[in-house]
Amino acid sequence: MTALALETVTKSFPSVEGRVEVLRGVSLDIARGSAHALTGESGSGKSTLLHIAAGLEQADSGRVLVGQSDLTTLDEAGRAALRRGHVGLIFQQFNLIPSLSVAANLGFQARLAGKHDADFIIHLAQRLGVADLLSRYPEQLSGGQQQRVAIGRCLAARPALVLADEPTGNLDEETGDRVLDLMLELTAETGAALLLVTHSSRLAARCEARHHLRAGRMEGTE
Amino acid sequence: MTRAALAALLSHWARNKLQLAMLLAGLALATALWSGVQALNAEARSAYATAEALLSEGATARLDHPSGQIAQESFGALRRAGWLVSPVLEARVTLGDARVTLIGIEPLTAPPGAGPALAAEDLAAFFSGRGFAHPQTLREIRDVPREIRPSEAVPVGTVLVDIGQAQAILQSDHLTSLTLAQTQPEGLRPLETLVPELRLLSPGEGAELAGLTDSFHLNLTAFGLLAFAVGLFIVHSAVGLAFEQRRAMFRTLRALGLPLRTLTACLATELLLMALVAGAAGLVLGYALAALLMPDVALTLRGLYGAPVPGALQFNPLWALAGLGMALGGTALAGAQALWRLWHLPPLAPAQPRAWAHASARGMRVQSALAGALALLAIILAVYGTGLLAGFLLLAATLLAAALAVPLVLTTVLRLAERAARGPLAEWFWADSRQNLPRLSLALMALMLALAANIGVGTMVASFRATFIDWLDLRLVAEVNVIPRSQDEARALEAFLAPRADAVLPMLRVEAQLSGQPAQIYAMKDHATFRDNWPLIDPVPQVWDRLAAAEGVLVNEQLYRRSGLRAGDELDLPQIGPMPVLGAYPDYGNPLAQAVITLPRFSEIWPEAPIRQLAIRTEDAPTLIAALQDEFGLSAAQITDQAQAKEISLAIFERTFVITRALNLLTLSVAALALFAALVTLAGMRLAQLAPLWALGLTPRQLAGLELTRALVMGGLTMLLALPVGLVLAQVLLAVINVQAFGWRLPLQVFPGDWARLGLWAALAVLAAASLPALRLWRQGPAQLLRVFAHER
């Protein structure tokens, strides 16, 4: 069953030298429960592709399907609702909500989506090793701890699709590896599909499938 | 290096033009309000100086008579005995279309002063009738009946003529005072034996215009200072936010080798430039504001104190320099904390918002302690303080304590709301509001100050108005009032009116000193008009009967409170001796102390005192007025009916508070601007906090709605806080400041309708301030929000 499908998606942005084509007819298909890596050089369009898949940005042409929903036909409110209920986003800078405690951050998206499950959140917190940090605030955590909370927040809502943009980019190698292990384990456990954007071929190698973007075109899939 | 660093720092403003505009506008408005008020004060004081300089009242001793009239013979006796005295005649007359003060002098014997100097330009012309008046007075007179030349040396509302001419105009051979030359021949007979009926006034005594109007100017200054303080809150807030926004830049500049000293100097230079630009703009605005308010101020001062203040404003370079100095000083004060923080900031300090909030937590504790100390000072001043200065200190301490307590109270309320919240969005809403409070707190403090001042002053004015109107209805019961031109006319009027009116109540008074204060003693005819209508404070039993029997005296509230009198206390009256106080009567709008005794006793002591006015009771006022005009040819200025009198009194009252209301409104506008500046600046910084919520499934529209709601909630909470503070302020104004400044105490009345209106205005101001950032968030949301994620790498 398809979790994310991109069909000949194009995207360009205006610049002082005219429009810059960032994605030039990219197609991609990710099944539920599978983990895919997306690699490419800086400016190759990885993040734009991820933003389009999350409905944060709209494609100029082509189709974007998340489950059965065609993002290109949805308005802003529809895309937001889809993100809330079906998509989990993990960022390089963690983007936790600074004013909320770890516990509140963990349950935040699940509660927004109406899928709050306290037992599952405690289970996630234990698996992620942040069960002792629930009353703390994001600023009181290390980078690795913050990213683990971000992963927990994402998975607590039981999304069908997890989109991770350089999730270990701000962490040292050892911490990054541990975070990735947890992410792979837990997405597999919840049956979510994972699209991991990364510069690192070492990390990409840990995913079942790897896609490489070059100058806005999908260069190859392994 | 310095130039490059300064350019880098200033580039922030090039990219944040609105923020720069807000900062400059805040400082300019603060300077404008302060310097505008100072310009009004300076103009009025310069007018008082002109009035005093006309006859050198501040430098020469004078002789006068309690009845206000000196017989020509007394003057002759003094001259024959060798005393160097000069006669002065002063009276209110109608010239052309205006009521003016006519001053007659004898230029050859008068001590040196602006008046004699004018006369000396052409003595022959002066003796034969030439007069001098301020150009504004000449315009008011319109049809000048004689040769009157314009001169700035004559106070507004005054006409200076030769004494012979003045006596001819007034049809009187009396004088009002005699000025004594500073050096007198030796061996003269003492004044006490030569003219025992005359009173010697030392230089400056009796010319208390500046003293009397001090309260008015102090009130204006206090408002100017409040507005300036509110303006400084904007500057402080904007400077602080700009520093925080550029923290990353500071780190980079220091990492690139810019010494901390140079960085601090660059930022201080930046502040100086802003202060100069905004200060200059503020001066222009302040001048325009003062010019706009000057006519009302002049009318108020003339109406309340008879102070001859022109309605036009002169430019004074010293005032401009002082205003610019205030802008520079204010900016230094507002920017000092930011510079101090920068000086002590580790080069690689984190820029996390919660870290910032934690750093502020310590500041908040200090602030709370300061608020507590100021509240304690306010209580001490309320219990033990005396005098106007203590009253204003009490006001300042109350307002500052309340303002400093705003963040603490709001934090507590937000924390409670957070605990009670159900649902993730509500929890986030309250938690996020609490986290961002330090950045908004200065603007909210400014808003609280402005709202509290509005509520306090509004309640005071409305309470005063309600009391004043009731009082006017009771005081102005005579249907017609007539001002006779001379005593012959007064007697003729009495005779004419006796068979035609229900009652004729003459108004007679003498000038006196009561309990060491300049005062007037009035005569009161025993009549139902007074018995049935005059409201009294603490009257003794059978007060009117006892007054009629000359068993005591009534005093006005001013004298009663200032001298700490109680019913039954004895008051020493000149030429009468001690008399028991029978009660006090409210006497709003009068700066002088006053006492009332019964008419027969008054006439016994001061038989020469002139009748100044006749209050007439009649059932047919129009017919009587017409008859008086036909018989005596009375001018419109001499005759007023009850409705006119009320209209005039109310108009003076309304004018008194025009300036207060205008300053109030401007202060509120400045506070709204402060909030707008803070919200606009915050909007850019908020993106990083809002973008994750968008990514988690909230639409920009929802986020914009939440931001708008947040601003309204904060504004609403601030308004709720301002309400009790405003009422305390009103109580201080009514029970402390008014008593100290004017001598009357008023009951506090509450006007919830006014609060609702103010609340609506405040909500509109907050909505206006929050709309633009919210609209921006809604309309340009995704593009800007995505930048937050794009900036990660």
Domains along chain A with CATH numbers: 2-221 (3.40.50.300)
| B432 interaction partners in chain A (CB closer than 8 Å) | 97, 99
Q: Of B513, B481, B479, B491, whose CA–CA distance to B611 is shortest? A: B491
Sequence-ordered strand ranges (E) for B415-489: 480-482
- pLDDT-derived band at B371 (thresholds 50, 70, 90) equals very high
Using a pLDDT cut of 70, give the percent of chain B over it: 89
- pLDDT-derived band at A93 (thresholds 50, 70, 90) equals confident
Top-confidence residue, A196 or B9: A196
Using a pLDDT cut of 90, give the percent of chain B over it: 14
Residue B665: per-residue pLDDT = 77
How far does chain B reach from its first CA to its final CA, in angstroms? 29
Q: Is the pLDDT of residue B350 over 50?
A: no
Nearest CB partner across the interface for B786, out of A56, A113, A139: A56
pLDDT tens digits, residue range B213-223? 666 676 677 77
Residue B219 is encoded by which pair of tokens? 């009130």
The mean pLDDT of A196-219, rounded to a whole number, is 89
| B780 interaction partners in chain A (CB closer than 8 Å) | none
Best of B360, B411, B437, B696 to mutate (most A CBs within 10 Å, chain A) = B696
Nearest CB partner across the interface for A109, out of B434, B696, B699: B696
Interchain CB distance below 8 Å, B428 and A108: yes
Best of A99, A112, A161 to mutate (most B CBs within 10 Å, chain B) = A99
Predicted ipTM of the assembly: 0.76
Tell the residue number behind the tokens 């605005």, with chain if given: B285
Q: Of B410, B405, B406, whose CA–CA distance to B368 is shortest? A: B405
Task: Put the strands of the sheet holding A2-15 in their side by side order.
Answer: A18-31, A2-15, A61-66, A69-70
pLDDT tens digits, residue range A94-134? 788 888 889 989 988 888 888 888 999 999 899 888 999 99
Residue B308: per-residue pLDDT = 67
Spatial distance between the Cα atoms of B435 and B447, rounded to a whole number of angstroms:
19
Q: Is the pLDDT of residue B542 over 90?
A: yes
> Can you say whether residue B189 is alpha, beta or left, with left for phi > 0 and alpha for psi between -120 and 50 degrees?
beta
Least confident of B449-453, B738-742, B757-761: B738-742
**Angle at CA A133, nearest 5°, toward A171 and A136?**
95
Residue B776: per-residue pLDDT = 82
Least confident of B273-287, B291-305, B473-487, B763-777: B291-305
Top-confidence residue, B649 or B147: B147
Query: Helix-strand-coil percent breakdown of chain A, rounded to 5?
Result: 40, 30, 30
Top-confidence residue, B182 or A131: A131
Spatial distance between the Cα atoms of B139 and B550, rounded to a whole number of angstroms:
48
Q: Is the pLDDT of residue B789 over 80?
A: no
Pairing relation of β-strands A18-31 and A2-15?
antiparallel
Residue B355: per-residue pLDDT = 44
Pick from A38-47, B187-196, B333-342 the range whose average pLDDT is largest. A38-47
List, as one string, the DSSP characters of A103-164. HHHHHHHHHHTT---HHHHHHHHHHHT-GGGTTS-GGGS-HHHHHHHHHHHHHHT--SEEEE
How far are the Cα atoms of B49, B233, B653 from residue B224, in angstroms, in the given order? 23, 14, 21
Residue B100 β-bridge partners: B93
Q: Residue B441 half-sphere exposure, CB side, CA atoms within 13 Å?
A: 23
The mean pLDDT of B483-499, rounded to a whole number, is 85
Using a pLDDT cut of 70, give the percent of chain A over it: 100
The mean pLDDT of B224-248, rounded to a whole number, is 75
The mean pLDDT of B642-647, rounded to a whole number, is 76
Quote the mean pLDDT of chain B.
Answer: 81
Interchain CB distance below 8 Å, B696 and A83: yes
| Closest-CA residue of chain B to A103 | B424
> How many contacts (CB atoms, under 8 Å) link A and B?
102
Residue B306: per-residue pLDDT = 63
> Residue B606 phi/psi, 5° resolution?
-125, 70
Spatial distance between the Cα atoms of B507 and B524, rounded to a whole number of angstroms:
7
pLDDT tens digits, residue range B116-138? 777 778 878 888 888 888 888 88
Provide CB contacts within 8 A for B312, sequence distance 6+: B136, B291, B294
- Say yes or no: A109 contacts chain B, CB-CB below 8 A: yes
| Closest-CA residue of chain A to B352 | A139
Residue B783: per-residue pLDDT = 63
Alpha carbon A56 to its chain centroid, in Å, reads 12
From the number of C-beta atoms within 10 Å of its C-beta (0-12, 13-18, 19+), residue B471 rates as: buried
Residue B207: per-residue pLDDT = 46
- pLDDT-derived band at B469 (thresholds 50, 70, 90) equals confident
- Amino acid at site B343: W
**Angle at CA B786, nearest 5°, toward B780 and B788?**
110
| B425 interaction partners in chain A (CB closer than 8 Å) | 112
Least confident of B31-40, B305-314, B614-623: B305-314
pLDDT tens digits, residue range B59-85? 678 887 766 678 888 888 888 888 888
The mean pLDDT of B163-185, rounded to a whole number, is 84
Q: Is the pLDDT of residue B646 over 90?
A: no
Q: Is the pLDDT of residue B206 over 70?
A: no
Top-confidence residue, A92 or B659: A92
| Closest-CA residue of chain B to A80 | B697
Quote the mean pLDDT of chain A.
Answer: 89
Q: Is the pLDDT of residue B255 over 80?
A: no
Interchain CB distance below 8 Å, A138 and B435: no
| Closest-CA residue of chain A to B791 | A93
Q: Is the pLDDT of residue B793 over 50?
A: no
Least confident of A19-23, B207-211, B416-420, B688-692: B207-211
pLDDT tens digits, residue range B408-435? 999 999 999 999 988 889 999 999 998 8
- Say yes or no: A146 contacts chain B, CB-CB below 8 A: no
Top-confidence residue, B663 or B696: B696
- Say yes or no: A120 contacts chain B, CB-CB below 8 A: no
The mean pLDDT of A147-163, rounded to a whole number, is 91
Residue B554: per-residue pLDDT = 94
From the number of C-beta atoms within 10 Å of its C-beta (0-12, 13-18, 19+), residue A44 rates as: buried
The mean pLDDT of A129-158, rounded to a whole number, is 89
List, as one string, the DSSP characters of B97-145. TEEEEEEEE-TTTSPSSHHHHHHHTTHHHHHTT-EEE-HHHHHHH-S-S
Best of A95, A105, A121, A154 to mutate (most B CBs within 10 Å, chain B) = A95
Nearest CB partner across the interface for A97, out of B350, B352, B428: B428
Residue B59 is encoded by which pair of tokens? 């430098």
Top-confidence residue, B304 or B409: B409
Least confident of B52-56, B312-316, B410-414: B52-56
Residue A98: per-residue pLDDT = 81
Q: Is the pLDDT of residue B204 over 60?
A: no
| B786 interaction partners in chain A (CB closer than 8 Å) | 51, 56-57
Alpha carbon B229 to its chain centroid, in Å, reads 16
Top-confidence residue, B608 or B541: B541
pLDDT tens digits, residue range B21-30? 878 887 888 8
Residue B307: per-residue pLDDT = 66
| A166 interaction partners in chain B (CB closer than 8 Å) | 792-793
Residue B183 is encoded by which pair of tokens? 């050096």
The mean pLDDT of B516-539, rounded to a whole number, is 88
Residue B199 β-bridge partners: B64
Least confident of A77-81, B212-216, B356-360, B536-540: B356-360
